Amino acid sequence: MEPVIQTKDLTKKFHGFCAVDRLSLSIGRGEIFGFLGLNGAGKTTTIRLLLSMITPTSGHCYLLGQRVDAGKLDIWRDVGYIVETPHAYPELTVRENLEIMGQLRGDIGRGAVDNIISKLKLGDQACKKARHLSMGNAQRLGLAKALIHQPKILILDEPTNGLDPAGIVEVRHLLQDLSKNYRVTILMSSHKLDEISQVSTQIGIIHHGQLIKEMRTKELDKHLHKSLLIDSRNRKAARSVLSQTIFQGHIKTTEAGVLEIEHAKAVEHPEAIASLLCNAGHPPTLLKIKRENLEMYFMRIIQEGEKMPNA
Amino acid sequence: MRKVISCVYVEAKKLLRSRIPLMAFLSLTLLPFMAGFFMFILKDPSRAHRLGFLSTKAQLAGTADWPSYLGLLAQAISLGGLMVFGFVMTWIFGREYTQGTIKDLLALPLSRQRIVGAKFIATTILCMLLSLSILTLSLIIGWFLQLPDLSLATVQRGVLLFLFCSSLTILLSTPVAFIASASGGYLAPLGFVLLTLILAQVAAAIGYGGFFPWSIPALIAGLAGKEQAMPTGANLVIVLGTGVLGVIGTALWWRYADHC
């Protein structure tokens, strides 16, 4: 299947500083690609390159199989986007801002403005001037402008910024609906793995301009570090028992003094550990699988990225 | 063509919903009122002395009649227009960067050159309308002052000179759009407008005004006397070239520059 969004060895340097470094990614139709990275990692620069707002130093971007170029106008007919904080003409109302966007995009169809106003729940704000919108509603207006022409590709830079929790859930459902029912391909950036993992089907982590990790979201759980926490009335004896098994060299003691085994077998079969300790006369008082949370995982990947020779 | 009209409509809507046309109009109304005030004083200096409009020591040279009045207005629009039209141009282009709305204009099924073109068309139409409204106001003020030497030929000549100088001044404000786009805001283009205004005076004073684009409209309006008021082909080429360079430079910037 031909990728809908693709970059090949994409590089952008600003006065010697490499903001995006040989980035290659490929996103298929209907996928939601969560583009994750710390501030300044190169997410927005990649998005700007994809939208031809800046020219790559080397490498190429492709949308719907066509090489991206500001002069190739047909590509943009199928692309909706938000780059950084969405902005609107402050002296115009929400409706007028959308009408203007519709007029510039051309042929958006009758009722498109009303539809998008209702879809993004902007009905109460439609006659309000953009300068009077709250941050959350300004974000909704930005999304409405990106969606007004029913694009096949959505490129969204931190689309839930400024939204309240209810708004975040609404946007998440909207994006999932677009992807599932309309096969819209979405690239959304964020610095929150938790948010990305809930909406995306694919995750890419960028650090220092390089794509340091790429995976399917459903595989995320496999990548999270897991360990088994064990406690016993006689910790020393329990440790000695465990040290005589395959877990030797994998046993740590936490700050609280609890034993921690970082070994897949221990995590998969905690009951075997329990039997072992019971048989040895040191039954466990605590047996718990500790899962690395998403934040910790993200930071670990970033730290591993720091150690990479080219990072 | 439909796309161009649509684009111009969008630009016109943004412009008309802002306060810029009103602010520009109010700024330009100073010109006919000042010119009218001068004519009022020149018409009867002793009355002006009596009313306190003119200091007892002040002496003004010139005559109060329609040709002088219309000539003065043409000079005023040549200099004041640089400022006001430059300000309008600064706002039209600089606002997209300052308010961050430029991003919405860069990835559309519509060429960036077309958007730039629409902005120039909308600005030109607004500036021409401003010029016409100021001209109308000037004629009303002149009529109220009951200046002598009123004839159809005089008014025709004066009106044409005013419109010609206005057009040249509008043309000369296109480089402001380039500065606004390249600098991404308001400050640099406004600085550029002030600089050109000052240099226009200096160039005219030292006798090289004919080679400095921004001096030329005022010289044609008769700022440095009637002998320099006849535009030469070189003058027009310089003004036209500057205007065209401003348009091309802006279009190329929008098309090829990195928009961060």
A202 and A231 housed in the same domain = no
pLDDT higher than 70, residue A165: yes
A122 and A260 housed in the same domain = no
A132 and A159 housed in the same domain = yes
A103 and A247 housed in the same domain = no
Residue A249 lies in a domain: yes
Q: Does A54 touch chain B (CB under 8 A)?
A: yes
Q: What is the pLDDT of residue B229?
A: 67
Q: B257: nearest CA in chain A?
A: A54
Nearest of B193, B191, B215 to residue B203 by alpha carbon: B215
Q: B106: nearest CA in chain A?
A: A53
Nearest of B72, B71, B69, B86 to residue B169 by alpha carbon: B86
Q: For the segment B36-57, what is each residue's pLDDT rounded down to a tens digit? A: 988 888 888 777 777 777 665 6
Q: Using the 3D structure, point to which of A203, A220, A237 is the last residue of a domain.
A: A220
pLDDT higher than 60, residue B106: yes
β-pairing, A17-27 with A5-14? Answer: antiparallel
Residue A121 lies in a domain: yes
Contacts A–B by Cβ distance under 8 A: 81
Q: B16: nearest CA in chain A?
A: A91
A113 and A242 housed in the same domain = no
Residue A184 lies in a domain: yes
Q: Dihedral angle at the C-alpha atoms of A214, A171, A84, A136, nearest 10 degrees?
A: -150
The number of domains in chain A is 2
A216 and A234 housed in the same domain = no
**Interaxial angle between packed helices A135-147 and A165-182, expressed in degrees from 0 to 180 and rounded to the nearest 10:** 10
Q: For the segment A81-103, what is each residue's pLDDT rounded down to a tens digit? A: 999 888 999 999 999 999 999 99
A20 and A162 housed in the same domain = yes
CA angle A93, A99, A102 (to 5 degrees): 145
Q: Does B16 touch chain A (CB under 8 A)?
A: no
* CATH number of the domain residue A266 falls in: 3.30.70
Mean pLDDT of the region B183-206: 94
A117 and A198 housed in the same domain = yes
pLDDT higher than 70, residue B175: yes
A189 and A274 housed in the same domain = no
Q: For the segment B133-159, what is each residue's pLDDT rounded down to a tens digit? A: 999 999 999 999 999 988 999 999 999
Q: Are A178 and A24 in contact (CB under 8 A)?
A: no
Q: Using the 3D structure, point to which of A201, A220, A239 is the last residue of a domain.
A: A220
Q: Using the 3D structure, point to which of A199, A220, A241 is the last residue of a domain.
A: A220
Residue A296 lies in a domain: no
pLDDT higher than 60, residue A221: yes
Contacts of A42 in chain B (CB under 8 A): none
A128 and A215 housed in the same domain = yes
| C-alpha to C-alpha distance for A155 and A143, rounded to whole angstroms | 10
A58 and A157 housed in the same domain = yes
Residue A297 lies in a domain: no
Half-sphere exposure of B153 (CA within 13 A, CB side): 1
* CATH number of the domain residue A89 falls in: 3.40.50.300
User: What contacts B253, CB < 8 A, 6 or more positions away?
Assistant: B178, B181, B182
Domain containing residue A271: 226-291
Q: Does A76 touch chain B (CB under 8 A)?
A: yes
pLDDT higher than 70, residue B59: no
Phi, psi of A259 (to 5 degrees): -80, 145
Mean pLDDT of the region B191-198: 96
Whether A90 and B106 lie within 8 Å, measured CB to CB: no
What is the complex's ipTM, to 2 decimals?
A: 0.87
3-state SS assignment for residue B29:
helix
Q: Does B113 touch chain A (CB under 8 A)?
A: no
Mean pLDDT of the region B98-117: 94
Work out the mean pLDDT of chain B and round it to a whole number. 91
Percent of chain A with pLDDT over 70: 98
Amino acid at A296: M
The CA R_g of chain A, rounded to the nearest whole Å, is 25
A188 and A269 housed in the same domain = no
pLDDT higher than 90, residue B3: no
